[in-house]
Chain A
Amino acid sequence: MRFIINEHSIEADVDVRTSLLDLLRDHLGLTGTKKGCNQGACGACTVLVDGERINSCLALAVQYQDREILTIEGLGTIGDLHPLQAAFIEYDGFQCGYCTPGQICSAVAMIGEIRRGLPSALTEDLALEQIGFSEDEIRERMSGNLCRCGAYNGIIEAIRATYAEESAQEREAAA
């Protein structure tokens, strides 16, 4: 089977029962993606596929051949952090760190969803294409990522700050 992971083409011969999560961790050594509940309830295994966030524990690897898979390892490096990774450090968006890669991957895609105007359970007027970016919206949209340390306030601050910074840069570029 051929996979595209963090922009690298990778061949791996795995049992069809292998989840995308186990492919990453056990077969490719990409242990940044974490196994929490292994049943889609905690979000620790969140990765991006073609830019969209999914739970890699509830995905059969065989179904994700030739798709663009992005894990936390592909998002940034220690020398070149993704802005959201830097913000998680700055705003104490973690304590033990186990849920953090999933939180960050999820938030990267979530910001994209808001920019594309996807509605949430808090969207009052579904006809509007512009979605507000409030703390409540972040909490609702990030509800698929649990943090047992309870670092939610820092996580939300990190996401807010990153979104604000991105938006400021966009306005600057447009001007």
Chain B
Amino acid sequence: MRPFTYERAATAKDAAARAARTPGAKFIAGGTNLLDLMKIEVETPAHLIDVNGLGFDRIEPTADGGLRIGALVRNTDLAADMRVRRDYALLSRALVAGASGQLRNKATTAGNLLQRTRCPYFYDTNQPCNKRKPGSGCAAIGGFSRPLGVIGVSEECIATHPSDMAIAMRALDATVETVKPDGTARSVPIADLHRLPGTTPQIETALDDGELITAVTLPKPIGGTHIYHKVRDRASYAFALVSIGAIIQKDGSGRVAVGGIAPKPWRVEAAEAAMPGGARAVADGLLAGARPTQENGFKLTLVERTLGAVMAQARA
């Protein structure tokens, strides 16, 4: 691990300002992903700003009947919260489908959203990777691409976003609250938080330098049947090949977000109009424009079939 300096932030505004003006600074909260990447020198921050002391560890009702989740609420605590289990069950189910008990105890809400891809070529510093080293090329395209993205990808990068939690947040229309280095706050719809790679896969989010996530807000509950169905290579503690997060109402209408296939939680609102018509029509809309590799074309079929299983479960 490269040397770095370390400080504990006193306030969110101070943390954001210091992060923006300190070269190579990064925030650290749970650290489960960042420290892993620092050990193999994929991440080489010169300075760590520990945000664990900033509070942001509460889950509170909002004025309009929603829920405001502090950025530092641990994945375990969020999944276990009775309000989440009752009104936003999809979020609870997505959380417990991810990682392990040990990791969920450390991982935070904001950190989960900002975790990096698990593309094996991003992790291997001997390989070209446009995300890790812009302009170096992509070893995944034409390489071992079975777990990687099929839609929203580019000629430069086919990495996926690995989060389960983010799939639920996308289906639930969450909003990310931040503080900028100048102290101003803003709200970013979850749909706009993650960027598609295009020609700049190293830029992953809409956040500015130093901008700090303080909370994630959920709108008031919409009812329906909440299902998170994750398909993976082993029964537990593995990343998704495909995952479906769905909220389905009694009349068959609903929302679907898909994990494991794209650089961001994948949702196409226009495709959801076809929900009462069955999985094929929805999958066609969700996957229009997909560009699978030879190794991961199976994901297109898997999305449709997993969605079909989810819709059947909702009807049952």
Contacts and interface: CB of A to CB of B under 8 A. Distances in A.
Interface in B24-66: 28, 31-32, 35-36, 39, 48, 50, 52
A144 B100 contact: yes
Contact of B79 (A53, A116, A119): A119
B102 A17 contact: no
B32 A58 contact: yes
A173 interface: no
Nearest to A120: B96
B295 to A, nearest CB: 23
Given A40-B32, A63-B52, A119-B79, A106 B89 contact: no
Contact of A55 (B76, B79, B106, B237): B106
A92 to B, nearest CB: 23
Contacts, number: 97
B31 A106 contact: no
B79 A43 contact: no
B108 interface: no
A119 B80 contact: yes
A89 interface: no
A4 interface: no
B80 A118 contact: yes
Interface residues of A, number: 38
B105 A52 contact: yes
B6 A62 contact: yes
Closest 8 CB pairs of A and B: A144-B100, A143-B236, A126-B85, A143-B237, A16-B6, A52-B105, A118-B80, A17-B1
Interface of B: 1, 3-6, 28, 31-32, 35-36, 39, 48, 50, 52, 76, 79-80, 82, 85-86, 89, 92-93, 96-97, 99-103, 105-106, 235-237
Interface of A: 16-17, 19, 38-40, 43, 46, 52-55, 58-60, 62-63, 106, 109-110, 113, 116-121, 123, 126-127, 129, 139-145
22 contacts: A16-B4, A16-B5, A17-B1, A19-B35, A40-B102, A43-B100, A53-B101, A53-B102, A53-B105, A54-B106, A58-B31, A62-B6, A119-B85, A120-B96, A121-B93, A121-B236, A126-B93, A129-B82, A139-B235, A143-B100, A144-B99, A144-B100
